[in-house]
Chain A
Amino acid sequence: MSASPASGEEMVRVRLHEVAHARTGDKGNRLNVSLFPYDPQAWPLLAEQVTEARVLERYRHRGASAVRRHDLPRLPGFNFVIDDVLEGGVNGSLNLDGHGKSLSFLLLTLEVEVPARLALHPDRTVGQASVEK
């Protein structure tokens, strides 16, 4: 797996949703968000850009106090464990989504910079999404 894009390659800035998929699970007041690039070649780029600090920032308004990223290069994927983000967990939260089931899509709003060839995964059936150059 090559971590760096070929020199001179066109880079585009896209939402993570364009290049990766995610799922959340909850236990108590702790959330895990798994993240998988559609194209395994994008894994090193995501490893560089989807840092614990950026993820913490994206969830801080929900009370997130810490983020730990576990790398799984063989799947390939990542597992983010986010503390205190569920405002008390499913049994204590006042949020509509006390489980945090929808919060994978909040992670997918982060922007990343990737080579244009990785910005549209091959199985996609929707047209080209808004891609900022």
Chain B
Amino acid sequence: MSGDTVYIGCGAGFAGDRFDAAGPVVRTLARRDGPRYLIFEVLAERTLAIAQRLRREDPEAGYSPFLDDYVRPVLADCVANRIRIVSNFGAANPLGAARRIQAIAAELGIENLKVGVVEGDDLLGIMSADEVRALPTVEGLPLAGVDLVAANAYLGARPVAAALALGADVVAVGRCTDVALTLGPLIHEFGWAEDDWDRLAAGTVAGHLLECGAQVTGSYFADPGYKDVPALARVGFPIGEIGRDGSVVITKAEDTGGMVSERTVKEQILYEVHDPSAYLTPDVVLDLTGVEVRQVGPDRVAVIGAAGHPRPPTLKATVSLDGGWLGEAEMSYAGPNALARAELAVEVLRERFATLGVNSPVRYDIIGVMSTFDGDGAPLRKAAAPSPDGDYRVRVAVRSLDRKVAERVTNEVLALYCCGPAGGGGQRQSITSQIQTASVLVDRDRVRPRVALA
């Protein structure tokens, strides 16, 4: 019976995910009968902090810079097929996102589009910076005496459901849990009560599996010869089929590559999970210890056994601080005796940074020996016995609150062209602004989500 299963497809799993992934998801959803949703998860901690800065410079800005890229290609098809869109692309300005979506709709000739907005995640809108600094920190740097770029609480699924109850075709949220993009529609469709812990847990598992896009359909998974994935370049994005009783089946868009198997689902179930018996969300504490997966058809995996416990009294909030600058630069050495030339380049750089008074910690890698797994002091590289000949790439990295320090370091790698060992080539460098974050807990009664149609 239609209405007893809700179909939720994911069109993006992080800020910058493929812009054309949602198309096959929408075409598949259009062939289904029942409530259907398309979610985009596009808001990293860093993304939100940058968005807050942009909004301060321009009150209309501060929503996802990729809003147009994600929404424009699918909006008309979603409206024509009654597929509702839910996303955190509101970022620091859900109302601005709503106005932009209305403008896109007008350009596409779509009439009477209802866009819902969920606001109220911005802690600096309801308390002073000093009050935020005094909140208990559960992760990250101490906040005493630092300037805050942003402070946002993770809202849960209830305000998303409330926006849908107002009739929104599109819901623009700022900071909410990634799971809320899925759980909100399920609460709206099924009317799950606030203490229906096991069903909320099932919806949370579904949301957790969908929120990272293709990570559940064969991406971040393929390991040739060990875990083969068909047509990875055309990987299809996931669709969840969630029943009123809390049944969950994960599948994917039709006519795409990738795969949904017990293995792909198992890996994603524990992704970014710490204690599997207590995954905290604003809506429910999820217990994954009894979860099992079953292949129930081609590219169809059922997930059973999620249990829920009462939600915590506090919400998690992310506080963003100025992280200064990250400078990185690289230079390659190849062919006979390349390793010795790369090592000499590292020695030259060390001495130059001492001469120039660079006091910030600098990391030196030789890519091709051991870099990704290594620690900052290169213990693995020192223990390795690499070939003297080869294709080696020197990399240095530095962080500093002072951009000039980052420039001094990267410029020295550039100078290796004329002042370094023989045959150095392929220099690249970048300097990027950084955000540091900390997680704090805030009493849930302090945070009052606001829901409206824009």
Question: Assuming the A-B contacts A62-B375, A70-B276, A124-B226, are A91 and B437 also in contact, with contact meaning beta carbons closer than 8 angstroms in the complex?
Answer: yes
Cβ-based interface call for B305 (8 A): yes
Q: How far is the CA of A90 from the CA of B53 in the complex (A)?
A: 20
Number of A-B contacts (CB under 8 A): 125
Surface stretch bound by A, among B17-25, B63-71, B366-374: B366-374
Which one, A32, A72, A91, contacts B289 given CB within 8 A? A72
Which one, B263, B274, B305, contacts A81 given CB within 8 A? B274
Surface stretch bound by A, among B99-107, B217-225, B339-347, B423-431: B217-225
Minimum Cβ distance to chain A for residue B228 (Å): 6
Cβ-based interface call for B269 (8 A): yes
Q: Which of B300-327 contact A (CB under 8 A)?
A: 305, 323, 326
Question: Assuming the A-B contacts A21-B223, A125-B228, are A75 and B292 also in contact, with contact meaning beta carbons closer than 8 angstroms in the complex?
Answer: yes
Q: How far is the CA of A62 from the CA of B305 in the complex (A)?
A: 36
Whether the Cβ atoms of A25 and B271 lie closer than 8 Å is yes
Q: How far is the CA of A28 from the CA of B138 in the complex (A)?
A: 10
Q: Which of A50-102 contact B (CB under 8 A)?
A: 61-63, 70, 72, 74-75, 77, 79, 81, 87, 89, 91-92, 94-97, 101-102
Whether the Cβ atoms of B269 and A75 lie closer than 8 Å is yes
Minimum Cβ distance to chain A for residue B151 (Å): 15
Whether the Cβ atoms of A27 and B398 lie closer than 8 Å is no
| Apart from A72-B291, A94-B398: 6 A-B pairs, beta carbons within 8 A | A22-B267, A25-B272, A27-B139, A75-B266, A102-B372, A124-B225
- Chain A: residues with Cβ within 8 Å of the partner, total of 40
Q: How far is the CA of A22 from the CA of B227 in the complex (A)?
A: 11
Question: Assuming the A-B contacts A25-B272, A126-B226, are A96 and B372 also in contact, with contact meaning beta carbons closer than 8 angstroms in the complex?
Answer: yes
Whether the Cβ atoms of A61 and B375 lie closer than 8 Å is yes
Cβ-based interface call for B178 (8 A): no
Question: Assuming the A-B contacts A28-B437, A36-B263, A95-B363, are A72 and B139 also in contact, with contact meaning beta carbons closer than 8 angstroms in the complex?
Answer: no
Q: How far is the CA of A103 from the CA of B291 in the complex (A)?
A: 25
Q: How far is the CA of A106 from the CA of B293 in the complex (A)?
A: 26
